[in-house]
Amino acid sequence: MSEDISIYLSGSKLYGDDFTIDQIEEWFKDEAEGYADLGAKEKEEYQYDYNELNNRHAFKHLQNRSFKKALGIGSAYGYELKPILESINEITILDPSDAFSDVHEVLGTSCKYIKPDSSGDMPFEDAEFDLITSLGVLHHIPNVSHVMSESYRCIESGGIMLLREPIVSMGDWTKVRKGLTKRERGIPFDLLDEIVRKTGFKVIKRSLCVFPMIPVLANKVGVSAYNNYFLTLGDAFLSKLFSSNIKYHRTKLYEKFAPASIYYILEK
């Protein structure tokens, strides 16, 4: 990649959101197995690391709701839905990886696996689902605005979408980054907020999360940061405390003392 990406690193424009179909297809091929290749394809060893984070920022606010049909965008084995499985009748997972293509149930709940189209068009009827989750997925996708508009089309009136995304650049994506896929990049906070609102969703709740020092601390003590109640509680406190320090491309040490992700509960 030889292009100047300074406008994207500044956070004023989202890289990939205005790509041509050929550029989107190239990106799609690069990312299709990206998450699986980072270790997720080993099902016996796979551990979902965000159950407590999801509980704090989303699921605890949905305790009195039940759902007929849930769509998990990029949900791998569907384990992100574990805390509310008893409230869901049927699950569909939209994921490009062959590693998850034999998923037929999520811890006992019926599940259908479908591969997405590279264009971002979703093979579903209007208003087919009453719950959609997209947790840390859109930053792997170029045409974020289109995928969000498709999500809005596919959810029924009054339906809920849970959305969590990194709001930092995740470094310079023109270079190889250890532990990250080739194409993933965060989505600038203001631009994601604008996309959400332009799509038509009503924001029920919006909260900041993933304070960088919390995972560092968790690694030192040998626990999963966002499967731990107390660390997740501390993360929420620090993310709110340093909310005024948000910058997209963080190169200075003090800039990293800020939340790295945002969580939305959205309603159509």
138-153: per-residue pLDDT in tens? 999 999 999 999 999 9
pLDDT for position 3: 67
Please answer whether residues 29 and 116 qualify as being in contact, where contact means their C-beta atoms are separated by less than 8 angstroms. Answer: no
The CATH number fitting domain 6-267, selected from 3.90.550.10, 3.40.50.150, 1.20.120.530, 3.40.50.300: 3.40.50.150
**In the chain, helix, strand, coil percent, each to 5?**
40, 20, 40
Separation of alpha carbons 114 and 72, rounded Å: 10
- State the amino acid at position 72 in one-letter form: G
Q: Which residues of the chain have pLDDT under 70?
A: 1-3, 36-44
Contact yes or no for 161/151 (Cβ under 8 A): yes
What angle (nearest 5°) sits at the alpha carbon of residue 249, between those of residues 234 and 189? Answer: 65
pLDDT number for residue 40:
63
Structure tokens at 224: 């999963």
Domain ranges of the chain: 6-267
Provide Rg for the chain, Cα atoms: 18
Beta bridge partners of 73: 94
Instruction: Give the model's pLDDT for residue 117.
Output: 94
Q: What pLDDT is stored for residue 63 in this prediction?
A: 84
Q: What is the pLDDT of residues 204-224, one digit of tens each?
A: 999 999 999 999 999 999 999
Query: Can you list the alpha helix ranges (DSSP code H) found in the chain?
Result: 6-9, 21-31, 34-35, 51-57, 144-154, 189-199, 213-221, 229-241
Please give the pLDDT value at position 1: 42
Contact 75, 132 (CB under 8 A): no
